[in-house]
């Protein structure tokens, strides 16, 4: 009689999973802790994140160096035969001095593509640095990163990059032109989908719970392709909000360049580079 009562109760409230003897839900399966290793490049040359003060030629033949380079990444997603998996709450600020970023736990398995957004959602962009606490998303939206904020009611800078271009024939650095670009806030974002490339994220238990990094190059030389820094004074300081003069065509060119700024560093995206 006891067994019959238990069976009836189990059927009646099985979705609550509170009656002894009810079958639990199936496990979601093993997970992998994945991250992004974002390498700063100018052209084909790696920029030492601890020493930005170096001139490097870009793919257009210009010689430049970075003094500041940051951008927001959200909605990190992985593609498999089951479709796109969006990593919950994925939000980082790519700082020039850091390259490795832990994104979160994802289902272990085989993947063939990576996608992410450069920029913030309207909901995140509507907040203020003072309104975010230092424990939210690595403090990237809090007062610790107020330099990425245009000002009250103006939103965040989705990408902020500055540096100089050397115009001398022998690259002596004696005649340089500065540039500074703070773009975002108006809602402009760029969705980056990398080329299809198969890779596997092993269950964390198989790799001693280590982070498995996907290695991606961020080519700032490519970001500035077809931007007439040397010949056009108005192209040297551009903002899509705030008090800095706007240059719509230049901002549009930079946003367009963002779409092809990124590429895998390794032949296997999460391989040992």
Q: Tell me what the pLDDT averaged over the chain comes to.
A: 83
Q: Is residue 20 part of a domain?
A: no
Q: Is residue 257 part of a domain?
A: yes
Q: Is residue 179 part of a domain?
A: yes
Q: Is residue 13 part of a domain?
A: no
Q: Is residue 6 part of a domain?
A: no
Tell me the per-residue pLDDT of 197-249, one tens digit each, with 9 for 90 and over. 999 999 999 999 999 999 999 999 899 888 888 888 888 888 887 655 556 78
Q: Is residue 27 part of a domain?
A: no
Tell me the per-residue pLDDT of 138-164, one tens digit each, with 9 for 90 and over. 578 987 788 899 988 889 999 999 999
Tell me the per-residue pLDDT of 81-112, one tens digit each, with 9 for 90 and over. 999 999 998 999 999 888 999 999 999 999 99
Tell me the per-residue pLDDT of 8-48, one tens digit each, with 9 for 90 and over. 333 333 333 333 444 433 347 899 999 999 999 998 888 88
Q: Is residue 9 part of a domain?
A: no
When divided into structural domains, the chain yields a total of: 1
Q: Is residue 194 part of a domain?
A: yes
Which residue range(s) make up the domain with 165? 33-264
3-state secondary structure the chain: CHHHHHHHHHHHCHHHCCCCCCCCCCCCCCEEEEEEEEEEEECCEECCCCCCCCCEECCCCCEEEEEEEEEEEEEEEEEECCEEEECCCCEEEECCCCCEEEEEEEECEEECEEEEEECCCHHHHCCCHHHCCCCCHHHCCCHHHHHHEEECCCEEEEEEEEEEEECCCCCCCCCEEEEEEEEECCCCCEEEECCCCCEEECCHHHHCCCCEEEEEEEEHHHHCCCCCCCCCHHHCEEECCCCCCCCHHHHHHHHHHHCCCEEECCCCCCCCC
pLDDT of residue 14: 39
pTM attached to this predicted model: 0.84
């Amino acid at each position: 009689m006891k067994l019959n009562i238990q069976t009836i109760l189990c059927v009646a409230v099985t979705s609550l999973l509170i009656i002894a003897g009810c079958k639990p839900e199936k496990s979601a399966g093993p997970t992998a802790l994945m991250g992004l290793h974002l390498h700063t490049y100018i052209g084909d040359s790696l920029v030492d994140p601890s020493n930005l003060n170096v001139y490097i030629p870009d793919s257009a033949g210009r010689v430049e160096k970075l003094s500041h380079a940051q951008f927001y990444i959200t909605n990190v997603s992985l593609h498999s035969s089951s479709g796109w998996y969006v990593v919950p709450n994925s939000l980082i600020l790519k700082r020039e001095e850091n390259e490795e970023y832990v994104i979160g736990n994802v289902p272990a398995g085989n993947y063939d593509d990576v996608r992410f957004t450069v920029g913030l959602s309207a909901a995140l962009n509507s907040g203020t640095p003072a309104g975010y606490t230092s424990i939210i998303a690595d403090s990237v939206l809090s007062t610790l990163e107020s330099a990425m904020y245009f000002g009250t009611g103006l939103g965040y800078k989705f990408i902020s990059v500055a540096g100089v271009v050397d115009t001398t024939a022998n690259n002596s650095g004696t005649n340089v032109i500065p540039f500074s670009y703070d773009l975002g806030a108006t809602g402009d974002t760029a969705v980056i989908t990398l080329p299809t490339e198969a890779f596997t994220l092993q269950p964390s238990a198989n790799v001693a719970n280590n982070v498995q990094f996907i290695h991606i190059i961020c080519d700032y030389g490519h970001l500035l392709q077809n931007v007439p820094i040397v010949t056009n004074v108005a192209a040297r300081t551009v903002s899509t909000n705030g008090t800095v003069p706007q240059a719509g065509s230049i901002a549009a060119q930079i946003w367009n360049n963002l779409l092809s700024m990124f590429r895998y560093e390794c032949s296997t995206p999460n391989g040992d580079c």
